[in-house]
Amino acid sequence: MTTAGPRHRIASDTTAAALRDVLVGLGIRGGDEVIVPSFGPGAPADAVRLAGAVPVFADIDPRTFCLDPAAVAAGVTSRTAAIVPVHVFGHPAPMEALTELAERHALALVEEGSAVDDAGAVARRRAHARFLDSALKGVVVPYTALGAHHLYHRYTVRVPGNGRPDRDAFAAALAARGVRATVSVPVPVHRMPAHRSGDMLPETERVAADSLSLPVHPGITQRELTHIADTCNSLGGLMRSRP
């Protein structure tokens, strides 16, 4: 765990237990509320509960999949003590806006994970992502905010259509043609039994229902990338033509 200021921590160990220790070290205690994302790993919410506090889920920017600062601001109450952003799939969270928000309300800020990675592996993933960005036609390709450096831990697209049924059918059709795609967030954290809440997170729900991650790992070949693009485009065309 590295430090980025008296009330800002960057936790390199992102297990729930390690994050709990960071929160406790910042003075988070029972009765406090901590704002976390629901789209992504469950460790931040688990850590908040382990610290005796209450996780409050905020919605995401549907382009970056990271916490939406406006949604975070709307979730701040007199009991809010901290914010735990996540750099989702390698896209950095909007730390400038969240830092300003945290300072304005005297909140602690704990980054779950890091926006830093091995340069060689990242360069290959970015090259693969650039190819898919230009080649894919039937899906919505990942967005990168102005000035942000996407690490592409996952290359996550959105499948147009009717949400989860079309996304799942698309994934099954890809698998039948030799393309292994994964649903990165099958269930948003606020829908899991341990954290079930009545929070209304429309963007989180929509992205969880229609997103799918395609392979861009450093070892993938150009031939495989071309096959992924050609297969997605053929299926995307068929899906778009449905009545």
Strand duo 8-11 + 2-3: pairing: antiparallel
Q: Is the pLDDT of residue 243 over 60?
A: no
Q: What is the mean pLDDT of residues 161-174?
A: 93
pLDDT (tens digit per residue) in 213-233: 999 999 999 999 999 999 999
Q: Are residues 12 and 50 in the same domain?
A: yes
Q: Is the pLDDT of residue 4 over 60?
A: no
Give mean pLDDT, residues 52-69. Answer: 97
The pLDDT of residue 14: 84
Average pLDDT, the chain: 90
Parallel/antiparallel/unpaired status of strands 54-58 and 80-83: unpaired
Q: Mean of the pLDDT values across residues 176-189?
A: 95
pLDDT at 9: 82
**pLDDT surpasses 80 at 241:** no
Answer whether 0.75 is exceeded by the pTM.
Answer: yes
Per-residue model confidence (pLDDT) at position 186 = 93
Per-residue pLDDT at 132 = 97
Q: Output the pLDDT for position 12.
A: 77
Query: In percent, how much of the chain has pLDDT > 70?
Result: 91
**Ramachandran region, residue 203 (left: φ > 0; alpha: ψ -120 to 50; beta: rest):** alpha
CATH of the domain at 137: 3.90.1150.10
Question: Do residue 32 and residue 62 come from a single domain?
Answer: yes
User: What pLDDT was estimated at residue 141?
Assistant: 96
Considering its fold, how many domains does the chain have in total? 2
Report pLDDT for 113.
62
Domain boundary among 97, 112, 127: 112
Q: How confident is the model at residue 49 (pLDDT cuts 50, 70, 90)?
A: very high
pLDDT confidence bin for 138, thresholds 50/70/90: confident
Domain identity same for 128 and 225: yes
**Structure confidence at residue 114 (pLDDT):** 56
Q: Distance of CA 161 to CAs 102, 135, 166, 175, 226, Å? A: 37, 20, 6, 19, 23
Question: Which residues are bridge partners to 214 per DSSP?
Answer: 155
Across residues 23-34, what is the average pLDDT?
Answer: 94
Which CATH number is 31's domain given? Answer: 3.40.640.10
Choose between 79 and 162: higher pLDDT.
Answer: 79
- Which among 112, 137, 160 is the end of a domain? 112
Phi, then psi, of 217 in degrees rounded to 5: -60, 155
Domain end position, chosen among 112, 143, 175: 112
Same structural domain for residues 16 and 107?
yes
Range of the structural domain that residue 49 is part of: 2-112
